[in-house]
Amino acid sequence: MAMKKNILFGALVFLLAGHIVFAQKTSTVYFTKDISGQGVLKVYQKIKDSVKGRVAVKVHFGEEGNKNYLKPELSKPLVELLKATYVETNVLYSGPRQKTESHIKLAKAHGFGFAPIDILDSQGEKIYICSTACYTRVLAGSHMDRYNTFIIFSHFKGHGLAGFGGAIKNVAMGLASRMGKRAMHADYVPDYDTSKCIRCGTCVKQCPAGAISINPLKIDTRKCIGCGQCLKDCPVQAFEASRDRISSELFNRRLVEYAKVLSDSNHFVYINVLANISPDCDCSGRARKPFTGDIGILASTDLVAIEQASLDLVNQAHKCQDAFLKESGRSGNMQIEYAARLGMGSRKYKLIGVD
Ligand code: SF4
Ligand code: SF4
């Protein structure tokens, strides 16, 4: 009973904190137009004093069928310079990234094999006890404690549910264990269009929760774990990310809270690469074409500032106020607003070119 009260009190304090307007300092974000390994080193030089001890570089090794992920050539000089380890976690949906052995095999096939690779949740979970509005615990890989600094190396691009996926998502979803990912996706049930279904049976076979039936097409909402596998697999796009606005907002809140707990407990610095900016995430097997030209690479020690600067640059390049809303029907603004409200960084920044 006492524990329950403490959790409720903690959640209340967390919610109230969310409504306090934090006096925003101006953070620094470094920028280069040079999208290469050398460009990464240039921006890294500006934040290197914050990188200490054993270093992990958190990347996405790429999905089969999606060419937009950040190629190893970009991070290689940095990883070699720091004798760092590439880190990732296993995913919810089926495919090579679901299991450690096949995940590492895929990483090597995509050219990341020149450095050590550590799948952080390959030997279980680390539990972070917390009291955020959505969570009382956050689940990440048990190998988190092996590293003193994490360089969160993120591809800034669209995301069907969150609006965009950048550093916040790379921390939250990228470092969460499979059960942590499930906790963020839970009750995100895709929409579906029965008239498009050609009854190939793929979704029924691949759904890890046995939630789909196809005569007619239907998802059992009590079983669905929101993994997104069906969106990825269906050959005729009969599924799509739910258009329910609350669901998208809730997903973004969950992402931000996961990122907050993990960034409060670990030491992170951030590098965002603005290239191949598709409306879709790198986990999508059928990502659409980039909607704007390549922009550059940013680095910062402030999570909110680097996301805000990245979003502003994409909007500027696309000549509109909200590029992701325009291209995929989802705004990413809420993600940044909520992170700023939780005191995770500053939306005010100074962009300093290093070219
Ligand atoms: S129905 Fe739900 S659990 Fe099954 S594949 Fe789709 S999102 Fe995943
Ligand atoms: S994968 Fe798509 S087309 Fe095939 S059965 Fe499922 S919904 Fe129908």
pLDDT tens track for 96-109? 888 999 999 999 99
Ligand 2: which residue has its CA nearest to atom 2?
234
Task: Say yes or no: 90 and 200 in one domain.
Answer: no
pLDDT attached to residue 285:
62
Same domain (yes/no): 236, 307: no
Give the whole-number percent of the chain exceeding pLDDT 90. 67
Distance CA 144, CA 87 (A): 9
Output DSSP code: residue 51.
-
Segment (H or E) for 69? none
173 and 198 together in one domain: no
Do residues 103 and 52 both lie within one domain? yes
The tens digit of pLDDT for each residue in 123-180 reads 999 999 999 998 999 999 999 999 999 999 999 998 888 889 999 999 999 999 988 9
pLDDT in the model for residue 322: 93
The C-alpha angle with vertex 165 and arms to 64 and 113, in degrees rounded to 5, equals 40
Using the predicted structure, report yes or no on whether residue 19 has a pLDDT greater than 80.
no
Residue 3 is predicted with a pLDDT of 45
pLDDT at 13 over 60: no
Q: Which of 58, 62, 35, 95 is nearest to 282 (CA)?
A: 62
Number of domains the chain contains: 2
Least confident of 186-190, 197-201, 300-304, 319-323: 186-190
Please give the pLDDT value at position 286. Answer: 64
Comparing 288 with 115, the larger pLDDT belongs to 115
Q: Report which DSSP code applies to 349.
A: E
Mean pLDDT for the chain overall: 89
Q: Which CA distances in Å does 151 have to 50, 146, 154, 171, 256?
A: 10, 14, 9, 10, 18
Domain of 311, in residue numbers: 2-185+244-353
- E strand or H helix at 249: helix 245-265
For the CA of 226, the closest atom of ligand 1 is 7
Give the model's pLDDT for residue 222: 78
Q: Which CATH number belongs to the domain containing residue 257 in this structure?
A: 3.40.50.11440
Q: Determine how β-strand 149-155 pairs with β-strand 268-274.
A: parallel
> Same structural domain for residues 157 and 84?
yes
190 lines ligand 1 (CB under 6 A): yes
Cβ atoms of residues 86 and 79 within 8 Å = yes
- Furthest C-alpha separation in the chain: 60
| The one-letter amino acid at 15 | L
What spacing in Å lies between the alpha carbon of 183 and ligand 2's midpoint? 26
Residue 17, phi then psi, degrees to nearest 5: -55, -35
How confident is the model over 215-238, as a mean pLDDT?
Answer: 86
**Is residue 321 domain-shared with residue 298, that is, in the same domain?**
yes
Which of 195, 207, 214, 233 to mutate to test ligand 2, by most ligand atoms within 8 A of the CB atom? 214
Query: Which pLDDT value is given to residue 226?
Result: 75
Return the ligand 1 atom nearest residue 206 CA: 5
Please choose from 191, 193, 202, 212 the residue to mutate so as to test ligand 1's pocket, defined by most ligand atoms within 8 A of CB. 212
Q: What confidence tens digit (pLDDT) does each residue in 166-215 have?
A: 999 999 999 999 889 988 887 678 889 999 999 999 999 988 888 999 99
- Ligand 1 centroid to residue 227 C-alpha, Å: 5
Give Cα 272 distance to the centre of its chain.
Answer: 12
Note the pLDDT of residue 21. Answer: 47
Q: Are residues 299 and 169 in the same domain?
A: yes
Q: What would the mean pLDDT of 3-26 be, rounded to a whole number?
A: 54
Q: What is the pLDDT of residue 238?
A: 94
Is 231 near ligand 2, meaning CB less than 6 Å away?
no
Sequence-separated (6 or more) residues with CB below 8 Å from residue 187? 226, 247, 250
Residues 84 and 148 in one domain: yes
Ligand 2 pocket, 199 CB below 6 A?
Answer: yes
Residues 160 and 206 in one domain: no
The continuous run of DSSP H or E covering 229 comes out as helix 229-233
